Amino acid sequence: MSKQTSNKLWVFYSILIAVGLVFLYRITVLQLFKGEDYLKQALRNSSTEITLHPVRGTIYDRNGKLIVYNDYVYDLLVVPIKTESFDTLELCRILEIDTSELEQKLRKAKSFSSRKPSLVAKNLSTPAYSVLQENLFRFPGFYIESKTDRKYKVKGMAHVLGYTSEVNKNDIENDPYYKQGDLIGVTGIEKSYEKELRGKNGVRVMIVDKHNIEKGNFADGFYDTEPIPGQDLFTTIDLNLQELAETFLSNKTGSIVAIEPATGEVLCIANSPGYDPNELSGPERNKNFRKLLVDPKKPLFNRALKAPYPPGSTFKPIQALIGLQEGVITPQTAFPCYRGYILGNRKVGCHAHASPVNLKYSIQTSCNAYYCYLFRDIVDNPIYSNVSEGLNAWIAHLNTFGLGILTDIDIPGESKGILPSVNLYKRVFGKNWRSSNVISVGIGQGEVGVTPLQMANYTAIIANRGYFIRPHVVKYVGRNKARKPSNLQKHNVSIDTSYFPLIVDAMNLVYQPGGTAFWSSIPGLNLCGKTGTAQNPHGNDHSIFIGFGPKDNPKIAIAVIIENGGFGATWAAPIASLLMERYLKQSNETAKPEMYKRMLNPVNK
């Protein structure tokens, strides 16, 4: 072979090898780097992804009664890039909308994403769903997605349960789990336990033809994932007690909270006005929400967690405990009461009773003068260099009772309530302010605001003789009840436990002859309580009561507030007693049928 021929063969083989290497490189790139992209493109062109929504966890009361469940609903979605020419008028007729509305929805879908599904119509009516199922092939790019929506077995309890609503742009941006049209918990335990309740979406990839007709699973279901159901919640709520509380509040304005002292489990949270949780479910959700939002009675407002009421005389047992702890009184300490507390031209009135007044008698008869003297002695205590230090010591005690701070209940939106501060009094009265300037604070008026939840919690503290467990409304998470809420350890208050039996005995006297709640006593039940009548600058006084029972080994602590109800003994005390009777006896029968009947009447009758 000549040298010239040999050179030509070498060049030919070199070119052949170079071309082969190029092909090998391209194949390698396609396999290693572009294969995923081409697979995705193939999937987009010949398939559709159907989101499989999990069943949201159901909710039960403490006795296993079903409260919240799910019902299947169907939405119509569109993938804009897959749409072709279709009968617009026919689709509008099925959906019962006009063409301009449909065009607006399609424009919005395309602006959101041309390749991702967007909601066109939610909660399809049964007729619309049936017609679309049979004629979907006529509307390329459209498909039906099934999911569940909330249904409620109750007409109340809305502020505990909360509600779900469609996710907004921020929800989607903050959590990639969500897509347009998904539901998310907005308030109540629907929000605080959203991740447990929602479960996890699945997906089904289907082969479709050019008419968007499904032809089977893509790759025999290799890319499919099954949805994971949400976890059930077993609440601490006693539905029987809850419904009776709501019955008593049905023609009144106010709130009721009951707690099991030893565990911190909330037995009921009732608010009035409230709303039927079914109003914020289904196709009328948005319409009903707008109606509730502008309602002047504010049914969406959770009074139990947010409203800072003056506690009135229900504040006196705490004041007594602080006075004992600070050493400014003993059980035998007595103060005079001549129809009230008088200092110069300043007077805080009181009703007629014997004088002087010792500690037990002051709680039994709810003497205002006693607690004006007591508050003065606490903040003017000579162990402190000035009144500001005394006030701060008083506030520090209250904080340990959960006042002026959050209880950290597992329902969002709680208020801290209101407590005064040294800076506030200096601004109002000057740097040389005195206890006499703010003496009304001693009887739970003035610059003190306490939520019904906080009232029930400090009642549980007294019932427990000095501690509380964080209030919570979920007892177990999961169908096997394996998980309990966290942070359920004891929280001790700043008062020595030796002082509590005296206060418990005094609160027991409230239900005895001569006590302010004697007429609300229940035969056979040994109860403790404290009435309160809180002045209200916007109308009649509020009727307030706190109580627990039985006296020893208490099972329930309760706070009742009836706005504009007058004396605590008129409305709040009887309602609290009847509710404690219902829970302790676990019977729908009452020993006080006439009192029961009267409590069903409206306040202003």
The CATH number that applies at residue 206 is 3.90.1310.10
- For residues 432 and 319, membership in a common domain is answered with yes
- For residues 212 and 281, membership in a common domain is answered with no
With respect to residue 86, please indicate whether it lies within any of the assigned structural domains.
Answer: no
- For residues 389 and 277, membership in a common domain is answered with yes
Exposure letters 123-158 (e unless 16+ CB within 10 A, then b): bbeeebbebbeeebeebbbbbbbebbbbebbbebbb
Contacts of 264 (CB under 8 A, 6+ apart): 460, 468, 469, 470, 471, 472, 488
pLDDT for 393 equals 97
With respect to residue 16, please indicate whether it lies within any of the assigned structural domains.
Answer: no
- Given a cut of 60, whether residue 51 has pLDDT beyond it is yes
Cis peptide before 554 (omega within 30 of 0): no
- For residues 289 and 193, membership in a common domain is answered with no
Q: How many folded domains does the chain comprise?
A: 2
Residue 262: give its domain's CATH number.
3.40.710.10
- Given a cut of 60, whether residue 164 has pLDDT beyond it is yes
pLDDT for 10 equals 64
pLDDT digits (tens, 9 = 90+) for 548-579: 999 999 999 999 999 999 999 999 999 999 99
pLDDT digits (tens, 9 = 90+) for 281-315: 887 888 999 999 999 999 999 999 999 999 999 99
Roughly what angle, to the nearest 10 degrees, separates helices 368-379 and 316-326?
40
Residues 92 and 326: their CA atoms lie apart, in Å, by: 75
Average pLDDT, the chain: 89
Across 90-197, where does the E strand assignment appear?
118-121, 142-152, 164-166, 183-185
pLDDT for 212 equals 54
Mean pLDDT of 424-436: 92
- For residues 206 and 286, membership in a common domain is answered with no
Q: For residue 390, what are the domain limits?
A: 239-599
User: Which of 45-59, 73-87, 213-227, 579-593 shows the lowest mean pLDDT across its residues?
Assistant: 213-227
Residues 343 and 339: their CA atoms lie apart, in Å, by: 13
With respect to residue 489, please indicate whether it lies within any of the assigned structural domains.
Answer: yes
Residues 435 and 447: their CA atoms lie apart, in Å, by: 13
* Number of other residues whose CB lies within 10 A of the CB of residue 232: 20
- For residues 230 and 244, membership in a common domain is answered with no
pLDDT band at 348 (very low <50, low <70, confident <90, very high): confident
Across 113-252, where does the E strand assignment appear?
118-121, 142-152, 164-166, 183-185, 202-208, 214-217, 233-235
- For residues 164 and 276, membership in a common domain is answered with no
pLDDT band at 466 (very low <50, low <70, confident <90, very high): very high
Residues 321 and 550: their CA atoms lie apart, in Å, by: 21
Contacts 24+ apart (CB under 8 A), 511-518: 512/364, 514/364, 514/365, 515/364, 515/365, 516/364, 516/365, 516/366, 516/568, 516/569, 516/573, 517/545, 517/547, 517/568, 517/569, 517/573, 517/577
With respect to residue 294, please indicate whether it lies within any of the assigned structural domains.
Answer: yes
User: Which of 84-98, 264-278, 353-367, 439-453 shows the lowest mean pLDDT across its residues?
Assistant: 84-98
Query: Which residue bears the tokens 């509307």?
Result: 139
* Number of other residues whose CB lies within 10 A of the CB of residue 547: 32
User: Which among 235, 266, 283 is the end of a domain?
Assistant: 235
Higher pLDDT, 107 or 217: 107
pLDDT for 49 equals 74
- For residue 465, give Cα distances in angstroms to 259, 319, 501, 503, 549: 15, 15, 7, 9, 13
